[in-house]
Amino acid sequence: MIKFTKGVIMVLKKLFTAIGVTAAAFALSLTASTSATAAPIEAPTPVKSRIENTAAPDTAAEPRTCRARFTDGLNHRLRAEAGSQILGIIPAGTWVQASCERVDGGEYDACGVASAYWLEIYWNGNWGHGAWGCLQDWEFTS
Protein backbone atom coordinates (compact mmCIF):
# COMPACT_ATOMS: atom_id res chain seq x y z
CA MET A 1 0.00 0.00 0.00
CA ILE A 2 2.86 2.40 0.82
CA LYS A 3 4.53 1.77 -2.56
CA PHE A 4 1.23 2.42 -4.31
CA THR A 5 0.74 5.73 -2.42
CA LYS A 6 4.31 6.89 -3.18
CA GLY A 7 3.79 6.02 -6.84
CA VAL A 8 0.54 7.97 -7.01
CA ILE A 9 2.16 10.97 -5.32
CA MET A 10 5.06 10.91 -7.80
CA VAL A 11 2.68 10.72 -10.75
CA LEU A 12 0.59 13.60 -9.35
CA LYS A 13 3.72 15.73 -8.79
CA LYS A 14 4.79 15.17 -12.40
CA LEU A 15 1.29 15.89 -13.66
CA PHE A 16 0.95 19.16 -11.71
CA THR A 17 4.47 20.22 -12.71
CA ALA A 18 3.61 19.62 -16.37
CA ILE A 19 0.37 21.61 -15.98
CA GLY A 20 2.26 24.48 -14.31
CA VAL A 21 4.93 24.57 -17.01
CA THR A 22 2.30 24.52 -19.74
CA ALA A 23 0.31 27.32 -18.09
CA ALA A 24 3.45 29.45 -17.69
CA ALA A 25 4.43 28.90 -21.34
CA PHE A 26 0.91 29.83 -22.44
CA ALA A 27 0.95 33.01 -20.33
CA LEU A 28 4.34 34.03 -21.73
CA SER A 29 3.17 33.45 -25.29
CA LEU A 30 0.17 35.73 -24.67
CA THR A 31 2.41 38.41 -23.16
CA ALA A 32 4.90 38.24 -26.06
CA SER A 33 2.22 38.42 -28.74
CA THR A 34 0.40 41.28 -27.00
CA SER A 35 3.49 43.51 -26.72
CA ALA A 36 4.63 42.68 -30.24
CA THR A 37 1.31 43.66 -31.82
CA ALA A 38 0.76 46.80 -29.74
CA ALA A 39 1.02 49.98 -31.80
CA PRO A 40 3.99 52.19 -30.84
CA ILE A 41 3.18 55.53 -29.27
CA GLU A 42 4.75 58.35 -31.21
CA ALA A 43 5.44 61.89 -30.11
CA PRO A 44 3.25 64.52 -31.75
CA THR A 45 4.70 66.43 -34.66
CA PRO A 46 4.99 70.16 -34.01
CA VAL A 47 2.93 72.22 -36.46
CA LYS A 48 5.77 74.63 -37.19
CA SER A 49 9.40 74.75 -36.18
CA ARG A 50 9.91 76.87 -33.09
CA ILE A 51 13.02 78.30 -34.70
CA GLU A 52 10.86 79.81 -37.48
CA ASN A 53 8.18 80.99 -35.06
CA THR A 54 9.42 83.87 -32.90
CA ALA A 55 6.07 84.20 -31.11
CA ALA A 56 5.18 82.16 -28.04
CA PRO A 57 4.02 78.60 -28.88
CA ASP A 58 0.29 78.34 -29.58
CA THR A 59 -1.10 75.89 -27.01
CA ALA A 60 -4.04 75.00 -29.27
CA ALA A 61 -1.73 74.05 -32.15
CA GLU A 62 0.82 72.33 -29.92
CA PRO A 63 -0.83 70.67 -26.92
CA ARG A 64 2.26 68.89 -25.63
CA THR A 65 5.46 70.41 -24.34
CA CYS A 66 8.72 68.73 -23.44
CA ARG A 67 11.84 69.36 -21.44
CA ALA A 68 15.35 67.94 -21.61
CA ARG A 69 18.65 67.91 -19.80
CA PHE A 70 22.07 66.93 -21.04
CA THR A 71 25.00 64.93 -19.64
CA ASP A 72 27.74 67.43 -20.46
CA GLY A 73 27.90 71.19 -20.83
CA LEU A 74 26.13 71.59 -24.17
CA ASN A 75 26.77 74.03 -27.00
CA HIS A 76 23.43 75.71 -27.72
CA ARG A 77 23.67 76.28 -31.48
CA LEU A 78 21.64 78.50 -33.79
CA ARG A 79 21.20 75.75 -36.40
CA ALA A 80 21.34 71.95 -36.36
CA GLU A 81 24.93 71.94 -37.61
CA ALA A 82 28.20 71.37 -35.79
CA GLY A 83 29.74 74.54 -37.26
CA SER A 84 26.75 76.76 -36.49
CA GLN A 85 27.02 79.81 -34.25
CA ILE A 86 27.06 78.98 -30.52
CA LEU A 87 24.38 80.94 -28.66
CA GLY A 88 25.59 79.80 -25.24
CA ILE A 89 26.61 76.78 -23.18
CA ILE A 90 23.94 74.95 -21.19
CA PRO A 91 25.39 73.54 -17.94
CA ALA A 92 25.20 69.76 -17.51
CA GLY A 93 22.04 68.54 -15.77
CA THR A 94 20.07 71.78 -16.34
CA TRP A 95 16.45 71.23 -17.42
CA VAL A 96 15.51 73.28 -20.51
CA GLN A 97 12.35 73.59 -22.59
CA ALA A 98 12.66 71.43 -25.71
CA SER A 99 10.77 70.27 -28.77
CA CYS A 100 8.98 66.95 -28.50
CA GLU A 101 10.87 65.28 -31.34
CA ARG A 102 14.39 65.11 -32.67
CA VAL A 103 15.34 66.65 -35.99
CA ASP A 104 17.85 65.73 -38.69
CA GLY A 105 20.76 68.05 -39.22
CA GLY A 106 24.48 68.11 -39.80
CA GLU A 107 26.67 65.31 -38.48
CA TYR A 108 28.62 65.80 -35.25
CA ASP A 109 30.71 63.88 -32.74
CA ALA A 110 29.81 64.94 -29.18
CA CYS A 111 29.58 63.24 -25.79
CA GLY A 112 31.14 60.11 -27.29
CA VAL A 113 28.37 59.78 -29.91
CA ALA A 114 28.53 60.36 -33.65
CA SER A 115 25.10 61.34 -34.99
CA ALA A 116 23.10 63.71 -37.17
CA TYR A 117 20.14 64.05 -34.77
CA TRP A 118 19.49 67.30 -32.93
CA LEU A 119 16.91 68.62 -30.49
CA GLU A 120 15.37 72.09 -30.67
CA ILE A 121 15.86 73.70 -27.26
CA TYR A 122 15.02 77.00 -25.59
CA TRP A 123 17.77 78.50 -23.47
CA ASN A 124 18.54 81.99 -22.26
CA GLY A 125 15.76 83.60 -24.32
CA ASN A 126 16.60 81.87 -27.61
CA TRP A 127 15.46 78.80 -29.54
CA GLY A 128 18.37 76.81 -30.95
CA HIS A 129 19.64 73.27 -31.24
CA GLY A 130 21.53 70.84 -29.04
CA ALA A 131 23.25 67.57 -29.89
CA TRP A 132 20.86 64.63 -29.39
CA GLY A 133 23.82 62.39 -28.45
CA CYS A 134 24.37 64.40 -25.26
CA LEU A 135 20.79 63.90 -24.07
CA GLN A 136 20.50 62.58 -20.49
CA ASP A 137 16.71 62.85 -19.93
CA TRP A 138 13.85 63.94 -22.16
CA GLU A 139 10.18 63.95 -21.15
CA PHE A 140 6.73 65.34 -21.87
CA THR A 141 5.72 68.07 -19.42
CA SER A 142 2.10 68.35 -20.54
Q: How many CB atoms lie within 10 A of CB 140?
A: 11
Judged against a pLDDT cut of 90, whether residue 12 lies above it is answered with: no
Summary mean pLDDT of the chain: 76
Higher pLDDT, 113 or 15: 113
Of 10-14, 40-44, 121-125, the range with the lowest mean pLDDT is: 40-44
Higher pLDDT, 96 or 8: 96
Q: What is the pLDDT of residues 66-112, one digit of tens each?
A: 999 998 899 999 999 999 999 999 999 999 999 988 999 999 999 89
Domain boundaries, the chain: 1-38, 66-140
- At the second CATH level, the architecture of 66-140 is Roll (2.30)
Q: How far apart are CA 15 and CA 9, in angstroms?
A: 10
Q: What is the CA radius of gyration of the chain?
A: 27
Q: Is the pTM of this model over 0.85?
A: no
Q: Could you tell me the maximum CA-CA distance found in the chain, to the nearest angstrom?
A: 91
**pLDDT score of 50:** 44
pLDDT band at 125; cut points 50, 70, 90: very high
